[in-house]
Amino acid sequence: MNRLNLSLLSALALAFPLSLLAGRVWIDPFHPVLPNAALILAELRLPRACLAVIIGAGLGVAGAVMQGFLRNPLADPGLFGIAPSAALGAVLSLWLGALGHPLGGWALPTFALVGAGGAMALLGLIAGRGGSVALFTLAGMMIASLSGALMSLAISLAPSPFALSEIVTWLMGALVDRGWDDVLIAAPLTALGLAALWMTRPALDALALGELAARSLGVNPRVLTGWIIAGVGLTVGASVAAAGIIGFVGLMVPHFVRPFTDRLPSSLLLPSALAGALLLLVADAVCRLVPLASGELRLGIALSLIGAPFFCALLLRLRRELA
Partner 1 sequence: MSAGLTAEGLTVIGRCHDVSTALAAGQLIAICGPNGAGKSSLLAALAGLIAADSGTARLDGAPLASLAARERARTIGYLPQSGEVAWNLEVEALVALGRLPWGGSRRDPAVAGAIAAMELESLRHRPVGTLSGGERARTLLARVLAGAPRWILADEPLASLDLGHAAEVMRLLAAQAAVGRGVVVVVHDLAMAMNHADRVLVLDSGTVVADGPPDVALAEDVLARVWQVEAQWLGAPGARALGLISAATPPAR
Partner 2 sequence: MRRRAALLMALALGSCSPAPAPVPVPVPAPVPPAPQRIVSLNPCTDAILAEVAERGQIAALSAYSSQVGQSSMNVALARSLPATAGTLEEVAVLRPDLVLAGAMTAPAERAAYARLGLRREEFASPTTIAASLEQVRRIAALAGHPERGAALVARIEAAVVRATVPPGTRRVDTLVWQSGGMVPGGNTLVSELMNRTGFDNFSARAGLGQAQILPLEPVLAHPPQAILIAGNLAAGENRLLAHPALGRLPATRRFAFDPVLEWCGGPTIIRAADRLAQIRQAL
Contact partner, 202, from partner 2, partner 1, none, Cβ < 5-8 Å per class: partner 1
Smallest distance from partner 2 to CB 176, Å: 7
Quick count: other Cβ atoms within 10 Å of Cβ 142? 14
Distance CA 95, CA 317 (A): 46
224: nearest Cα among 251, 249, 250, 206? 206
Pick the binder of partner 1 from 140, 244, 265, 300 (CB under 8 A): 265
Residue 210 site contact among partner 1, partner 2, none (CB < 5 to 8 Å, cut-off depends on kind): partner 1
| Partner whose footprint covers residue 100, from partner 2, partner 1, none (CB < 5 to 8 Å by kind) | none
Task: Return the bridge partners of 178, or none.
Answer: none
- String of contacts with partner 1 for each residue 206-225, x by CB under 8 A: xxxxx-xx-xxxxxx-----
CA-wise closest residue to 20 among 204, 323, 285: 285
Q: Which does 220 bind (CB under 5 to 8 A by kind): partner 2, partner 1, none?
A: partner 1
- In 10 A of CB 146, how many CB atoms? 16
Q: If contact means CB under 5 to 8 A according to the sort of partner, which of partner 1, partner 2, none does residue 293 touch? A: partner 2
| Partner touching 36 among partner 2, partner 1, none, CB below 5 to 8 Å by kind | partner 2
By the criterion CB under 8 A, which residues form the site for partner 2? 23-25, 34-37, 39-40, 43-45, 94, 97, 105, 108, 160-162, 165-166, 169-170, 176-179, 181-182, 288, 291-296
Terminal alpha carbon distance of the chain: 27
Q: Which of 100, 104, 262, 291 binds partner 1 (CB under 8 A)?
A: 262
Q: Please work out the total of residues on this chain that contact partner 1, with binding judged by CB under 8 A.
A: 20
Q: Show the DSSP H helices in the chain as ranges.
A: 2-21, 37-39, 46-70, 82-98, 107-127, 133-156, 161-171, 180-198, 201-207, 211-216, 221-243, 249-257, 265-289, 299-322
Question: How near is the Cβ of 165 to partner 2 at its closest, in Å?
Answer: 6
Burial class, 26, CB count within 10 angstroms (exposed 0-12 / middle 13-18 / buried 19+): exposed
Stretch that binds partner 1, among 47-55, 191-199, 261-269, 290-298 (CB under 8 A): 261-269
Would you tell me which residues interact with partner 1 (CB under 8 A)?
Answer: 71, 202, 205-210, 212-213, 215-220, 262-265
